[in-house]
Amino acid sequence: MPKLSKQTLEKRFLCPHCARTFRTRQGLSGHIQYKHKLGTPSEENPYMDAVVDAYKFKQRAESAGFTKEQISEMGQIFVFWNSIKYQIKDEKITLNNNDWKNYLIVSMAQMRANQQLFNKLNQALGIAISEMLKIQSNTAANIFKKSF
């Protein structure tokens, strides 16, 4: 398959359902009308859209150079957001980009706080273990001295 130029790729139109690209708007429109008409499994099960969106997100993050752990954390945020969005959609409440931004900010702040707490606990555990090893070696030395 020939490689497409950057300019050609920028002019392509992306299907919001399956992430397939088309050269013209008419091609995209026909594709959506034919492949994604109401009643297809994707439309009947909106949770499938969340799975497709998460997959696209993972691909974008990998191409941006994030590590697997970072992608996993960001992916969890993304998947949780989509599940929240669909649960709220069932309640006939609409969400906008500000809601997504607020959720993202809070989630990232929570991840940062969790990481800081983990680092503090890990450091405290390391100190406690080193102190216990000192006490154990002192105890063993005292027992060894008393036995001779």
Contact 85/99 with Cβ under 8 angstroms?
A: no
Give the closest residue to 119 by CA, choosing from 43, 87, 38, 127. Answer: 127
Tell me: do 61 and 79 sit in the same domain: yes
Question: In this structure, what CATH number is given to the domain that contains residue 21?
Answer: 3.30.160
Count the Cβ atoms, other than its own, within 10 Å of residue 6.
Answer: 8
Burial class (CB in 10 A: 0-12, 13-18, 19+), 133: exposed
d(CA 124, CA 118): 10
Is residue 113 a part of any domain in this protein? yes
Could you give the number of structural domains in the chain?
A: 3
50 and 86 belong to one structural domain? yes
Higher pLDDT among residues 15 and 147, named by residue: 15
DSSP category for residue 105: H
In a domain, 4, yes or no: no
Q: Which domain holds residue 54?
A: 46-95
Give tens-digit pLDDT for 73-123: 877 787 787 777 777 766 677 777 788 788 888 888 888 888 899 999 999
Calpha distance 52→74 (Å, rounded): 15
User: How does residue 134 score in pLDDT terms, banded at 50, 70 and 90?
Assistant: very high
Q: What burial letters (b/e) apply to 85-106, b meaning 16+ CB within 10 Å?
A: beeeeeeeeeeeeeeeeebeee
Determine, yes or no, domain membership for 53.
yes
The predicted structure's pLDDT at residue 39: 44
Residue 59 in domain: yes
* Residue 135 confidence (pLDDT) above 60: yes
Closest by Cα among 9, 14, 12 to 23 = 12
> Domain check: are 21 and 36 in the same one?
yes
